[in-house]
Amino acid sequence: MGKSINLILGVHNHQPVDNWDHVVEDAYRKCYQPFLDVLEAYPSVGMSVHYTGYLLDWLFDRHPGLIDQLRRLIQRGQVEMIGGAYYEPVLAIIPDRDKQGQIEKLTDRVEALTGQRPHGLWLAERVWEPHLVQPIAQAGIRYLFLDDSHFKAAGLEEQALHGRYTSEEQGKTVDIFPVDKTLRYQIPYASPQAVIDYLGSVASADGQKAAIYFDDGEKFGVWPGSHRLVYKEKWLDQFFKALSANQDWINPITPSQYVAQTPPLGRIYLPTASYSEMMEWALPAKQWNAYQQALKSVSPEQQRFFQAGFWRNFLVKYPEANNIHKKMLYVSEKIHRLAQDKGIQHQEALDELWKGQSNDIFWHGVFGGLYLTNLRTANYQHLIKAENIVDTIQYGPSFTHIETRDLDCDGQPEILIESTAQNLYLHPHEGGSLFELDYRPKNFNLLDTLARRYEPYHDQLKESASGPGNRLEQYLNYDWHRRVSLLDHFWGEGTTLDSVAQSTYPEQGDFVTGRYQSHIDGHTVTLSREGTVWIHDQPTAMRVEKALILSDPAQAQTVIRYTLTNVSAHKASLWFAVEFNVNLLAGDAPDRYYYLPQASPKPAQGITKAGKAAVLETVDSKTKLRSKKLIAKEALKEVYGIGLRDEWLDIDYHLIWNRLGSVWRFPIETVSQSETGFEKVYQSSALFPNWKFSLEPGESWHVEITQRITSHH
């Protein structure tokens, strides 16, 4: 009797929430539709298919014929639909109640559209933690798929990976299939015959073994060069034809069919893991090269015991990702507390929350992920929309709420100022900075920024031979602090716009990342620090106090009253700058631009103690903008303010101060890696109102800055 093998094939199709419509349409045309067309021509080839909820809804709305085609394939027993979490979160990092809710939502949706209720699960980015067994089982899932490297890390040999194992947590069980790395790398890049030969090498006389392939569907038409290979050169057609020609010993079978025919190979407990590349990307950037060297020093057999990073450390590597994650947890808590305290289960708010849990912006590797501003913005918009719903129910249509809590889970409290029109989140222990600024009428976080950091692939860019005028390495500047707002800088003589823009200037004070004391009095939050400014190598004690004053909760306006006091025994000549950052998504678009407000505060009146806006008068400013673009770099003198306008988002952001001063502006642009190579991405516009002055011992200096956000509609 000859040998035979069961072949479990699966594809996972995903698009990020609110991805550009033309991008999804291109994927449909190049990949999703032609794949099913080829599959339908080979009825003997059974396989499983997974679509994330956002993509499934998009396909149903735009191309319902594809859903009809899926139904036909299901009805003839050729396709099994695989479920998962609806909006493709990394399941391990969202609350259990949201895990179960997202899984059940996709299960119900798939059944409603196709008539088949999924029993299997696709785990986003194969990010595994042992506790996942329980919530997955409780959501009605029987089996899922992980990389074989997860199993090898638990000590299993290669020959023991051709079936499924049962795992358990608190008495709940799920079965787990190990995805064959060889097949994952062969399909669709090796010849179809090479795949057939490999299957022959793992076939068995009893026919009980299974070779498991489950990977991104976008490999079949969206990845660079794949559409030509898979369809124009007919790789997929030839592969299915080869499987059909060898069906006497290769049995392409769906997971549920295999589960019904064979028992598990045993019980297993898997360590935390993802696919090997993901765990490498999760390492601290400067440790990546050391890991690669260590990996080369051992044999391939020993390499399976080498684990790189831990997925959750993306939240350490990128504080901006942690910011979105902890915002998500906070909004989830609000929604579920509303259900618990008031018995209100608001499904729209839940769905917006779940959209904001989409995984793409929590990590970065060979794909853009966190570096893509449009994807980060989508998550924030959904989270803020969910928050608006529950806060209106909780507090009413007009409110200001201030609380202290350890939002980012670093063991130190932040201050959250929430009102009808805006949210302001403050870090007292990190420069007294403003790190989130939500304009709630538009569900938009203007401080959704990203600092410029070293990435290991930058070394390749520096060594590349790209020609003059086309060199991205000139944009490789690295920041030593987060790009947030209300950062208090002291510059020395000789500081230039270029040196500040490149983060190469010498900071003279210890305030940017220093710890501030905080005091809350009604709707005023005061942050203060007594620190040091180095003037000509001489330490000078300086006190900085900034009071944030809110008045009308329906307006997104904040008055920031600065008081600088020389507490040293000698005169101090100072150059003081306050850093603000604003991200309006597109630095070079004609409908997003800088402008100079045509009004200035009367210095004698300034802003009242109650926080009312300054009395404004029209001025004839001689200062003109050289360029209105948000990517412009310029030092402006003798101005009372600056504004940024986004006509597409309908957001107007401006700063006005009551002392004539200068303002420096420049873009924050990162260089990141994506599927198509290196790309420069606009992350924010940095603004530095700045003043030069001297203080005698004990003397104070004041300035009031009004930050205001408005829209016309």
Rounded to whole angstroms, the Cα distance separating 313 from 323 reads 13
Instruction: Take residue 284 and report the two structure tokens written for it.
Output: 């601290």
Q: What is the CATH number of domain 458-710?
A: 2.70.98.10
Of 158, 216, 410, 530, the catalytic one is 216
Q: Taking the complete model, does pTM exceed 0.95, yes or no? A: no
Low-confidence ranges of the chain (pLDDT < 70): 1, 465-470, 599-622
Residue 382's alpha-carbon distances to 326, 366, 422, 559, in angstroms, are: 14, 26, 15, 28
pLDDT tens digits along 626-648: 999 999 999 999 999 999 999 99
Please check whether residue 8 is in contact with residue 243, taking contact to mean a CB–CB distance below 8 angstroms. Answer: no
Known catalytic membership, residue 216: yes
In whole numbers, what is the pLDDT of the chain averaged over residues? 92
Q: Which residues are within 8 A (CB) of 173 and not within 5 positions of it... i.e. 6 or more apart?
A: 133, 137, 166, 167
Residue 367: predicted pLDDT: 79
Which CATH number, 3.20.110.20, 3.30.70.1890, 3.40.440.10, 1.20.1370.20, labels domain 5-274?
3.20.110.20
Q: State the DSSP string of 632-658.
A: --EEEEEEEEEEEEETTTTEEEEEEEE
The domain ranges of the chain are 5-274, 458-710
Of 88, 125, 175, 455, the catalytic one is 125
Instruction: Give the closest residue to 36 by CA, choosing from 346, 539, 711, 28.
Output: 28
Residue 341: predicted pLDDT: 78
Residue 639's alpha-carbon distances to 559, 566, 596, 606, 711, in angstroms, are: 18, 26, 8, 15, 23
Rounded to whole angstroms, the Cα distance separating 148 from 265 reads 14
Instruction: Take residue 258 and report the two structure tokens written for it.
Output: 């295999």
